[in-house]
């Protein structure tokens, strides 16, 4: 006796099961055991879906940024104009320290934010890039005096390719508006620029691999004040192991390769959506941020 073919209800409940388990992206029609595949064929598969081996120079590919000149941009060193390879880094299964080392070496070569975005778009040592739809690099004005840094993109950000686009982004926009900020006078990024599948937390390895890129992004944007949204961003950038309920409202020194700036830790908007009573604490932090901005450059 042949088993009954699955009907549409079976298929729908099968899909529901996977969505509930956090599977929300389809990569291929058939499953592959990527761990069982040798490295060479894996790279060959990737190459089929990638742009031609010799892409246009990085700067030409980067999206144009129109930004009101709020302050003098920092002088930036001449970039080496060598022909760029199509991808950077080793396999996503590289040893944790090696991937972070690759990231550090590569990020240091970016002389502009556009170059950094181009390098990230070709960086292969973080497995998240293979499940994400888009690289989520930044939004807002890179010349602003204040930069907000979140944790990692969610589904809305992954779809649009910009940080803080969903419900927590809308709340962030309202919090910024309450102190006279918006995306024309603030710059927004994330510690991890690719969406972790199913919105899970980024692993320590993913954070370590992505950290050199956000550090370079901060150095190149050169804001006066960095605001870390939530515990993940605060622990990654402020050098504290304290939980966010302890570190929020605190100012930390933050050193870029140019100068020391100030870092303010505050609550993540996604947390505030779940715990609306805590908005009073965030409001305190945002008032302190406004006061620091009004006080002028550090």
Of 115, 151, 173, 206, which lies in the binding site for ligand URA, with binding defined by CB under 6 A?
151
Q: Decide if residue 293 touches ligand URA (CB under 6 A).
A: no
Q: Decide if residue 235 touches ligand URA (CB under 6 A).
A: no
> What tokens does 67 get?
């930004």
Looking at beta carbons only, is 142 or 154 nearer to ligand URA? Answer: 154
Place of tokens 């104009």: 81
In the complex, least distance from residue 188 CB atom to ligand URA, rounded to whole angstroms: 8
Contact 189, 213 (CB under 8 A): no
Looking at beta carbons only, is 142 or 163 nearer to ligand URA? Answer: 163
Fill in the per-residue mask, 189 to 228: x = in contact with ligand URA (CB under 6 A), - = not in contact. -x--------------------------------------
Report angle CA 223, 225, 230 to the nearest 5 degrees.
115
Looking at beta carbons only, is 13 or 201 nearer to ligand URA? Answer: 201
Q: Decide if residue 270 touches ligand URA (CB under 6 A).
A: yes
Place of tokens 């691999």: 209
3-state secondary structure of 178: helix
Fill in the per-residue mask, 30 to 49: x = in contact with ligand URA (CB under 6 A), - = not in contact. --------------------
Of 87, 168, 209, 235, which lies in the binding site for ligand URA, with binding defined by CB under 6 A?
168
Taking the C-alpha atoms of residue 92 and residue 125, their distance in angstroms, rounded to an integer, is: 4
| Residue whose C-alpha is closest to residue 208's, from 88, 92, 104 | 104
Of 150, 193, 223, 231, which lies in the binding site for ligand URA, with binding defined by CB under 6 A?
150
Of 140, 153, 196, 202, which lies in the binding site for ligand URA, with binding defined by CB under 6 A?
153
Taking the C-alpha atoms of residue 56 and residue 296, their distance in angstroms, rounded to an integer, is: 41
In the complex, least distance from residue 168 CB atom to ligand URA, rounded to whole angstroms: 5
Q: Decide if residue 152 touches ligand URA (CB under 6 A).
A: yes
Looking at beta carbons only, is 106 or 152 nearer to ligand URA? Answer: 152
> What tokens does 280 get?
């009073």
Q: Decide if residue 163 touches ligand URA (CB under 6 A).
A: yes
Of 89, 118, 154, 231, which lies in the binding site for ligand URA, with binding defined by CB under 6 A?
154
Binding segment for ligand URA (CB under 6 A), chosen from 29-37, 147-155, 217-225, 235-243, is: 147-155
Buried b (16+ CB within 10 A) or exposed e, 24-34: eeeeeeeeeee
Alpha helices in the chain (DSSP H): 8-20, 39-48, 58-61, 96-107, 113-121, 128-131, 155-160, 167-178, 204-221, 231-238, 244-247, 269-274, 279-294
- Reported as half-sphere exposure (CB side, CA atoms, 13 A), residue 202 has a value of 29
Instruction: Determine how β-strand 139-140 pairs with β-strand 146-150.
Output: unpaired
**Chain residues in the site for ligand URA (CB under 6 A):** 150-154, 157, 163-164, 168-169, 190, 270
């Amino acid at each position: 006796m042949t088993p009954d073919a699955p009907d549409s209800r079976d298929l729908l409940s099968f899909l529901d099961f996977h969505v509930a388990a956090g599977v929300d992206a389809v990569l291929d029609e058939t499953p592959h055991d990527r761990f069982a595949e040798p490295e060479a064929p894996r790279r060959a598969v990737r190459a089929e879906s990638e742009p031609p081996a010799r892409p246009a120079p990085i700067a030409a590919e980067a999206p144009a940024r129109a930004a009101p000149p709020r302050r003098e941009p920092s002088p930036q060193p001449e970039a080496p104009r060598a022909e760029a390879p199509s991808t950077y880094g080793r396999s996503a299964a590289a040893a944790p320290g090696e991937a972070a080392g690759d990231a550090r070496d590569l990020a240091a070569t970016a002389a502009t934010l556009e170059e950094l975005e181009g390098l990230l778009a070709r960086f292969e040592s973080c497995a998240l890039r293979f499940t994400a739809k888009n690289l989520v690099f930044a939004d807002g004005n890179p010349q602003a005096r204040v930069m907000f840094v979140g944790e990692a993109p969610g589904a809305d950000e992954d779809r649009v390719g910009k940080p803080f686009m969903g419900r927590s982004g809308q709340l962030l926009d309202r919090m910024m508006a309450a102190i006279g900020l918006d995306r024309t006078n603030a710059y927004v990024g994330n510690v991890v620029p690719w969406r972790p599948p199913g919105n899970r937390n980024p692993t320590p390895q993913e954070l370590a691999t992505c950290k050199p890129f956000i550090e370079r992004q901060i150095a190149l944007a050169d804001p006066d004040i960095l605001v870390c949204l939530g515990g993940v961003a605060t622990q990654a950038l402020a050098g504290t192991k304290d939980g966010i309920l302890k570190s929020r409202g605190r100012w930390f020194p933050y050193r870029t390769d140019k100068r020391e700036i100030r870092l303010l830790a505050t609550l993540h908007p996604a947390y505030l959506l779940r715990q609306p009573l805590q908005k009073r604490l965030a409001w305190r932090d945002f008032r302190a941020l406004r006061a620091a901005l009004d006080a002028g450059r550090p």
